[in-house]
Structure 1
Amino acid sequence: MARVGQGLSLYEVSSRAWMYELGVTSLDDVPDAELDKLQEQKMHMIWLQGAFKLGSVGLALDREEKSRMEGYKKALPDFTPDDIIGSPYAIVEYVVSDELGGNAAMARFRERCAKRGLKLMLDFVPNHMAVDCAWADDPACRDFFIRKPDNPADCNPDEFLPDGRAHGKDPYTGAWPDTAQLNYFNPALREAQVDNLLRVASICDVMRLDMAMLLLNKVHEQTWGRELRATGWSAPPTEFWEDAIKRVRAKYPDTIFMAEVYWGLDTELVGLGFDLTYDKYLYDHLASGHMDNLRGYMSSRSLDFLRHSAHFVENHDEPRAVSEFCGPMRANAAAAISFLLPGCRLIFHDQWHACSARLDVHLRRRSEYESDAGTLRYYTVLNKVLAEPAFTEPDAGYHWTWPEPPDESDYDTWRLVAWRMTHEDDRFLVVVNYTDAAACARFKLPDAPSASPAGEYTVHEYMAGKDYPRDAGELREHGLHCVMKPWGVQIFKY
């Protein structure tokens, strides 16, 4: 049985843009055929990004600020004011937006997903709320927010609202002007946020926690320590996430928690109860293309770390994979490395069509694009492989290892990354040529079984859909000979 959330494939859609494309105004009207497609592509979860109620202040800001207009023009040259829908990360309250049909429509959508074996993921944005959120004008909630000190000589005025509340931010970037920063050193705020987490957990199966590391006591102190000390707040003795996750699971024990996390804080969040964390380091190594660094990173990560990782080659924060990786061939090879490792696979809105048109989260549509038939076929095969028990049940009878290094004196082995996976009686070898030139190598398979007196049996390669008769003793002693095209992927079952 797989650990919670691990070995599963997750499909992210920008919910309002998805509904606009489908021409529907409620989740009730999303055609069953759209969910059937996800079932056919072997998805296990759907992430409706941007599902909760937003305010008018952030929308007005998005439609008026000149610097944002330039970004919209790059993403959608013919955009109109009606295309600007506001940031899904400036939430007013955790009620499903009327644009999706409200909480009742979400409940019915969740039931439709469950019938197809799909879990439903929703966002939770813990660090901040919209400036016009439900708590903004409530005197009882005044101290839910970081506030400007009485002697603000050293404070940046751009980081505060006229009423003294701070805008949300992280330690390294400027303030987010459509948000108000929450005070996690305030026990009352923590209690209110647990209530919000319980509210969200009641309507979904999986939660994606935005910028989850910002709530760690040390990060909150790093970001807002001066303001917190000046207004009389100090760090609580416990971490918010450890307490909150335990309380949510006491009521909803099957809830899966996935953290967006950076700065090497992923392992710490897993220790506090998260099932999955973003593996941004793998993405960065794939984007840079430095093979020694890529292999070094992959080989340095433990099986347990990989199992708790969410791997991706694009999402709503990153460029489209075909743009970042300079074409579909390299993008597809990067996806194979990411998704065939232990962990969770995160696939973004129309990624399997090799979509190059960026989908800005503030917009309801993107530029027109043509689907790449070759990439769609590639993902159809890859997703079928990922549905194999070896890739979906990484616990009982499971083993993951690097093969014995091939002889570097004979082959361009530096171009290749490879690993073996076994699950009970199933054995796989994954080989990826992550360079722009052909390469070949032999990989020894010490666990190749003797299937017949002659020692011969069939090795199946999934991506080409071919069977190869091979001698088990030869595979164990000398290895499987792999001839790889540039950006080539081979997945052997032996």
Structure 2
Amino acid sequence: MSRIGKGFTLYEINSRPWLFELREKYGAEVIRTIADVPDAEIEKLKEFRVHMVWLQGVWKLGKFGLEMDKTEPGRVGAYGRVLPGFTEDDIIGSPYAVVEYVVNEDIGGDEALQEFRKKLSDRGIKLMLDLVPNHMAVDSEWMKDEEKKEYFVRKPSSGSDFNPHEFMADGTAHGKDPYCGAWPDTAQLNYFNPELRKAMTEVLVKLASSCDGLRVDMAMLILNKCHNQCWGPVLAANGWSTPQDEFWGDAIKAMRQKHPDMILMAEVYWGLDSELIELGFDATYDKALYDTTLSRHLDNLRGYIGSKSEAFLAHSTHFVENHDEPRAVAEFGGKMNANCAAALQFALPGIRLQFHGQWAGISKTLDVHLRRHAEEPRDEKNEKYYKRLNAILDDELFRKGSFKMVGAHDAGEGDRQVWRLTTFKWTLGARKCIAVFNYSDEESGGHIALDDITATDKEYKIQELLGGNEYSRNPEELKSRGLFVWLRPFGMQFFQYT
């Protein structure tokens, strides 16, 4: 836990769209590379209490994927739906079809990236980059090297019962997962090949020298059982057998020998998060919490959180949007709903993943293949909300304290629909904070027991952090009946006391 504590705020920025946005704001002659990001923009990240920036899409891309993005009818049609009136110049290519792990010249190359990293570091902010281990671009440097052809999954020379749509003309397989079709701009790496494992371990170690953290794309696909599920018959037909050890266990051990403080965050689904934590990852996506929050079934939501240990939650990454998920404002039904859902998740132990545009309440999709989203005004009120929320959660109480879920009751006052309230408690020494959420569409009230109060004064002070108010209450009543709260739909409050 020493690398991430009880959690921190991680801000995902799409590198090339961000540069496009900054060029529109400051001028292309001012913003040439990522090194030219103005100090004011870095200071804004600090003001929002960002601990680490995930700069997405910094690696070199190829012409094949870009041309496919510009011509494939399905992709072009999708662009028109999210960005009406887009032009060909708006299409920039997928950041997950990597040609080579060198910094894309579109953002200025390695020197510019390291200058940007220094700007962040000078303000106490760390840098996270991407690793895409499952595949490389069709036109990657490894694909051009005959000696590295066996780094990739290959179609067997005999047998015809293999899906022809999963392979290129030269017999190399396209990247895929077990539940969807092949990704035609990618080539699938063969993790049953010891030489490929060695080469990807070297990539991992190399990248760890360029940043403070890595977000690992679809990390569970590299597990032996997942690789077998995708490619077992093909690999067996070519004489490859399942390795005894997991790639991640060996590779992470080798990386940590040189970079012990590197933070590894895995994109993972299908309930495989704990396996990756055991293999050495610091945090994993909690997609199950995202889905449960989106459903807004409060019993299921509280049941899910209550079933997880504090350690599990602290190793999790919580989010209501990112580059793969729809914008929270659009998906959750408005800004109030989305903000309550976000605060409820971020008040848990774990990494608080926030996405470029989320603070401003943006509802328009930013497709990873495009350099901009449809025009939409920024909501300054929403930005103030996130600035305040992040400041509250930046307190050491939420980064070092102990966490538990607590209940609310009606204290015999009749039906106040107290079941709508979800309540957490954080404790650090004498300091405590009750975070209470009405993640529903009707008003709700109830009492929350504060049985750990030791004060005997007639008037006891409680601070509500989000609104900045202070309340005077009788300590004996707080211990016997509890603190009374009344929340509007999708309302929340943070009560601090000692």
Supply the distance in 2 between the matched residues of 1:359 and 1:40 (Cα, whole angstroms): 24
Secondary structure at the counterpart of residue 135 of structure 1 = helix
Supply the distance in 2 between the matched residues of 1:132 and 1:269 (Cα, whole angstroms): 30
Which residue is 1:380 aligned to?
A: 387
> Is the counterpart of residue 469 in structure 1 residue 472 in structure 2?
yes
Q: How does 1:208-227 map to 2 (within 5 A)?
A: 208-227=215-234
Q: Which deviates more from structure 2 when the two are superposed, residues 203-212 or residues 3-12? A: 3-12
How far did 1:76 drift? Answer: 0.6
Supply the distance in 2 between the matched residues of 1:6 and 1:482 (Cα, whole angstroms): 27
Q: Tell me if structure 2 keeps the 8 A contact 1:209–1:258.
A: yes
Question: Of the candidates 270, 280, 295, which is equivalent to residue 277 of structure 2?
Answer: 270
Letter of the 2:451 counterpart: P
How far did 1:5 drift? Answer: 6.0
Unaligned runs of 5+ in 2: 24-30
Supply the distance in 2 between the matched residues of 1:152 and 1:36 (Cα, whole angstroms): 60
Supply the distance in 2 between the matched residues of 1:411 and 1:245 (Cα, whole angstroms): 52
Supply the distance in 2 between the matched residues of 1:208 and 1:105 (Cα, whole angstroms): 20
Q: How does 1:139-154 map to 2 (within 5 A)?
A: 139-154=146-161
Letter of the 1:155 counterpart: F
> Is the counterpart of residue 87 in structure 1 residue 90 in structure 2?
no
Query: What per-residue deviation string (whole Å, max 9, x for no partner) do you get for residues 375-403 of structure 1?
Result: 1121111011011101122xxxx321122
Q: Tell me if structure 1 keeps the 8 A contact 2:408–2:421.
A: no
Letter of the 1:64 counterpart: T
Secondary structure at the counterpart of residue 76 of structure 2 = helix
Supply the distance in 1 between the matched residues of 2:6 and 2:473 (Cα, whole angstroms): 33
How far did 1:88 drift? Answer: 0.2
> Is the counterpart of residue 333 in structure 1 residue 336 in structure 2?
no
Supply the distance in 2 between the matched residues of 1:83 and 1:448 (Cα, whole angstroms): 58
Which residue is 1:105 aligned to?
A: 112
Q: Tell me if structure 2 keeps the 8 A contact 1:5–1:344.
A: no
How far did 1:462 drift? Answer: 1.3
Going from structure 1 to structure 2, the CA distance change for 1:2 and 1:389 (only over 3 Å counts) comes to farther
Letter of the 2:125 counterpart: L
Q: Tell me if structure 2 keeps the 8 A contact 1:5–1:256.
A: no
Which residue is 2:11 aligned to?
A: 11
Supply the distance in 2 between the matched residues of 1:346 and 1:186 (Cα, whole angstroms): 34
Supply the distance in 2 between the matched residues of 1:29 and 1:152 (Cα, whole angstroms): 55
Which residue is 1:244 aligned to?
A: 251
Supply the distance in 2 between the matched residues of 1:372 and 1:214 (Cα, whole angstroms): 39
Letter of the 2:344 counterpart: I
Which residue is 1:20 aligned to?
A: 20
Supply the distance in 2 between the matched residues of 1:332 and 1:4 (Cα, whole angstroms): 24
Question: Of the candidates 487, 491, 495, which is equivalent to residue 488 of structure 1?
Answer: 491
Q: Tell me if structure 1 keeps the 8 A contact 2:3–2:261.
A: no
Going from structure 1 to structure 2, the CA distance change for 1:5 and 1:426 (only over 3 Å counts) comes to closer
Which residue is 2:59 aligned to?
A: 52
Secondary structure at the counterpart of residue 352 of structure 1 = coil
Query: What per-residue deviation string (whole Å, max 9, x for no partner) do you get for residues 331-373 of structure 1?
Result: 0000111111110100000201000111000001111111123
Supply the distance in 2 between the matched residues of 1:423 and 1:285 (Cα, whole angstroms): 29
Unaligned runs of 5+ in 1: none
> Is the counterpart of residue 456 in structure 1 residue 463 in structure 2?
no
Q: How does 1:311-390 map to 2 (within 5 A)?
A: 311-390=318-397
How far did 1:2 drift? Answer: 5.2
Question: Of the candidates 390, 399, 405, which is equivalent to residue 402 of structure 2?
Answer: 399
Supply the distance in 2 between the matched residues of 1:317 and 1:456 (Cα, whole angstroms): 50
Q: Tell me if structure 2 keeps the 8 A contact 1:2–1:392.
A: no
Q: Tell me if structure 2 keeps the 8 A contact 1:94–1:199.
A: no
Secondary structure at the counterpart of residue 377 of structure 1 = helix
Which residue is 1:158 aligned to?
A: 165
Which residue is 1:118 aligned to?
A: 125
Q: Tell me if structure 1 keeps the 8 A contact 2:407–2:423.
A: no
Q: How does 1:248-259 map to 2 (within 5 A)?
A: 248-259=255-266
Supply the distance in 2 between the matched residues of 1:50 and 1:176 (Cα, whole angstroms): 17
Q: Tell me if structure 2 keeps the 8 A contact 1:6–1:276.
A: no
How far did 1:407 drift? Answer: 3.9
Supply the distance in 2 between the matched residues of 1:203 and 1:426 (Cα, whole angstroms): 39
Secondary structure at the counterpart of residue 172 of structure 2 = coil
Question: Of the candidates 71, 74, 81, which is equivalent to residue 74 of structure 1?
Answer: 81
> Is the counterpart of residue 425 in structure 1 residue 468 in structure 2?
no
Letter of the 1:401 counterpart: K
Q: Which deviates more from structure 2 when the two are superposed, residues 150-159 or residues 306-315? A: 150-159
Supply the distance in 2 between the matched residues of 1:279 and 1:27 (Cα, whole angstroms): 30
Question: Of the candidates 176, 179, 183, which is equivalent to residue 186 of structure 2?
Answer: 179
Secondary structure at the counterpart of residue 376 of structure 2 = coil
How far did 1:423 drift? Answer: 1.3
> Is the counterpart of residue 64 in structure 1 residue 71 in structure 2?
yes
Supply the distance in 1 between the matched residues of 2:129 and 2:78 (Cα, whole angstroms): 26
Supply the distance in 2 between the matched residues of 1:234 and 1:437 (Cα, whole angstroms): 57
Supply the distance in 2 between the matched residues of 1:297 and 1:475 (Cα, whole angstroms): 29
Supply the distance in 2 between the matched residues of 1:112 and 1:316 (Cα, whole angstroms): 24
Q: Tell me if structure 1 keeps the 8 A contact 2:463–2:495.
A: yes
Which residue is 1:135 aligned to?
A: 142
Moved over 4 A (4+): none
- Count of aligned positions: 488
| Same amino acid, percent of matched pairs | 53
Supply the distance in 2 between the matched residues of 1:368 and 1:93 (Cα, whole angstroms): 33
Supply the distance in 1 between the matched residues of 2:129 and 2:159 (Cα, whole angstroms): 38
Going from structure 1 to structure 2, the CA distance change for 1:6 and 1:159 (only over 3 Å counts) comes to farther
Give me the CA root mean square deviation.
1.3
Supply the distance in 1 between the matched residues of 2:333 and 2:473 (Cα, whole angstroms): 37
> Is the counterpart of residue 441 in structure 1 residue 473 in structure 2?
no
How far did 1:137 drift? Answer: 2.0
Q: How does 1:176-215 map to 2 (within 5 A)?
A: 176-215=183-222
Q: How does 1:301-312 map to 2 (within 5 A)?
A: 301-312=308-319
Q: Tell me if structure 1 keeps the 8 A contact 2:407–2:422.
A: no
Q: Tell me if structure 2 keeps the 8 A contact 1:354–1:372.
A: yes
Supply the distance in 2 between the matched residues of 1:5 and 1:358 (Cα, whole angstroms): 32
Which residue is 2:235 aligned to?
A: 228
Secondary structure at the counterpart of residue 402 of structure 1 = strand
How far did 1:34 drift? Answer: 0.6
Q: Tell me if structure 2 keeps the 8 A contact 1:167–1:180.
A: yes
